[in-house]
């Protein structure tokens, strides 16, 4: 479970039960990620986590990174695509196409974030209910 609490004006901190935290704020706010940036980071991070073992085993180690960005609708109120580009050194790879096939298949089958985005997961919003006021009978 993720807990998000307000820590200041337009400033929030998300924490998990393992003690990790990330600052969330409005787009452009110093020292924080916007909610859309977190979504983009989740897609890129999931692709990296999913492909890490496959890539490092076949490339002999080295650098592994990803770049991603949100492509938003004309209104800017929804993300329509999150292209993710993985980067790693292919100089020690005998068959780059085979590695590409394996990495693409692994991400498509096992990356929870990108699989969820493809399925258009719902995000039901629950709001607090007003307290019932006791009516004093006369």
CA distance 51 to 7: 35
Which CATH homologous superfamily contains domain 34-119? K homology (KH) domain (3.30.300.20)
Residue 76's pLDDT band, with cuts at 50, 70 and 90, is: confident
Chain Cα centroid distance, residue 55: 20
Q: Please state the domain extents for the chain.
A: 1-33, 34-119
Q: What is the pLDDT of residue 113?
A: 96
What gap in Å lies between CA 35 and CA 18, rounded to an integer?
21
Instruction: Kindly report the three-state secondary structure assignment for every residue of the chain.
Output: CEEEEEEECCEEEEEECCCCEEEEECCCCCCCECHHHHHHHHHHHHHHHHHHHHHHHHHCCCCEEEEECCEECCCCCCEEECCEEEEECCCCCCCHHHHHHHHHHHHHHHCHHHHHHHHCCCCCCCCCCCCCCCCCCC
Q: How far apart are CA 111 and CA 105, in angstroms?
A: 10
pLDDT tier for residue 133 given thresholds of 50, 70 and 90: low
Say yes or no to pLDDT of 114 above 70.
yes
Rounded mean pLDDT, 101-124:
94
d(CA 137, CA 115): 56
- Residue 93: other Cβ atoms inside 10 A: 16
Q: How far is CA 78 from the centre of its chain?
A: 15
Q: Note the pLDDT of residue 132.
A: 61
């Amino acid at each position: 479970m993720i807990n998000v609490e307000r820590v200041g004006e337009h400033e929030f901190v998300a924490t998990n039960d393992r003690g990790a935290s990330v600052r969330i704020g409005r787009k452009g706010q110093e020292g924080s990620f916007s909610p859309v940036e977190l979504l983009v980071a989740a897609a890129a991070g999931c692709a990296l986590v999913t492909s890490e073992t496959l890539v490092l085993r076949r490339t002999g180690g080295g650098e592994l990174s990803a770049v991603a960005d949100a492509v938003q609708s004309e209104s800017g109120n929804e993300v329509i695509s999150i292209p993710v580009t993985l980067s790693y050194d292919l100089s020690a790879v005998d068959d780059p196409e085979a590695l590409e096939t394996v990495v693409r298949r692994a991400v498509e089958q096992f990356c929870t974030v990108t699989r969820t985005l493809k399925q258009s997961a719902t995000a039901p919003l629950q709001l607090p209910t007003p307290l019932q006021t006791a009516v004093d009978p006369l």
